[in-house]
Amino acid sequence: MRNDLHTELTVRIFTDRKCFGPGVAELLRRVRELHSLRAAAMSMNMAYSKAWTVLRSAQEGLGVRLLRSSTGGKNGGGAVLTAEGERLLAAYEDYCAKLRAYGEALFAETFAFYDALTEEEK
Residue ranges that bind its own copies, judged by CB under 8 A: 1-16, 61-65, 84, 87-88, 91, 94-95, 98-99, 102-103, 106-107, 110-111, 113-114, 117-118, 121
Query: Shortest gap between Cβ of 20 and its own copies (angstroms)?
Result: 9
DSSP 77: -
DSSP 21: S
Other CB atoms within 10 Å distance of the CB of residue 57: 15
Query: Shortest gap between Cβ of 39 and its own copies (angstroms)?
Result: 27
Burial (Cβ within 10 Å: 0-12, 13-18, ≥19) of residue 101: exposed
Closer CB to its own copies, residue 34 or residue 93?
Answer: 93
Closer CB to its own copies, residue 29 or residue 100?
Answer: 100
Query: Shortest gap between Cβ of 114 and its own copies (angstroms)?
Result: 8
Q: How far apart are CA 13 and CA 115, in angstroms?
A: 34
Closer CB to its own copies, residue 47 or residue 106?
Answer: 106
Closer CB to its own copies, residue 26 or residue 84?
Answer: 84
Q: How far apart are CA 59 and CA 21, in angstroms?
A: 13
